[in-house]
Amino acid sequence: MYSLITINTWKCDGEYLNRLEVLKYEIKETRPDILLFQEAFQTVDNTFDTTEFIAKELGYSYVSSQSRPKKRRMNNILMDSFSNVSILSKFPIERKYIISLPSNPDDGSRDAIAAELIIEGKKMLVISIHLSHLRDGNELRTQQLLHILDQSFICNKYDAIFIGGDFNFPINKDYLENLSQVNYYLEDTFIFNSKPDIPQYTFTNGDFSRKLDHIVQVCKKGEVQAKVAGSEIVFYKDHPVYGIKASDHNGVKIIFNF
């Protein structure tokens, strides 16, 4: 069995340096094989880099974009920085693809990142995404997803394809069916449960709580797909020492096999 977690790491907001330690702690505790990051903070001068820090501290290979350049405030200091999408893996990364997504001037440019992984002889494609945050951006978010699915490398032969990240909106079976094409269909890998001590959302602002972060499998018709054996919300607890969460988002974890 293998595990994959997606988490929006919340750039450099909040207590960034403490949150990095909490994020490292959570990942060390859950020991995922693959991680998908969104809003992964990186300064232009490389003084800070969320993805590189976690990769070096915990022994992951990684690939990362340099996306959404902007001055961001960290510890009250404005820094030239990026808000990246990235992929970390315990297994070899054979190839990466950076995908420029359809955009809106009110939202700015966005990228997705894809990586080909080799897992004990199996070839897998994982894609980390952060779709538009615009309140009325459902049509744009759909265009962004379709653009990813239209990439030529999607047609390569893989033993599994997963797309995960911050979709910035809830999804359901009907929505995914409408995205399906002649040669493939999309399945949400998450199964909601009724355990009262585990949240079923990934983001809350006090007024609403929603599951905005998802992992979907791209299933090619006529081919054997990866089997998802379990799913859960993770990284939702305050750290026992720092008293904060790793991010303003919870993470999503799946367990799968070929």
Q: What's the whole-model pTM score?
A: 0.97
Dist CA 82 CA 74 (whole Å): 12
Write down all domains in the chain, each with its CATH number in brackets: 2-257 (3.60.10.10)
What is each CA distance from 161 to 21, 26, 91, in whole angstroms?
Answer: 30, 25, 15
Residue that is written with structure tokens 């759909």 in the block: 142
- Kindly give the confidence (pLDDT) of every residue in the chain, 258 residues in length, as a single tens digit, with 9 standing for 90 and above: 999 999 999 999 999 999 999 999 999 999 999 999 999 999 999 999 999 999 999 999 999 999 999 999 998 899 999 999 999 999 999 999 999 999 999 999 999 999 999 999 999 999 999 999 999 999 999 999 999 999 999 999 999 999 999 999 999 999 999 998 878 999 999 998 767 788 999 999 888 899 999 999 999 988 888 999 999 999 999 999 999 999 999 999 999 999
Output phi, psi for 64, to 5 deg.
Answer: -150, 150
Dist CA 31 CA 25 (whole Å): 10
List the beta bridge partners of residue 34: 4, 89
Phi-psi region of 192 (alpha: psi -120 to 50; beta: other; left: phi over 0): beta
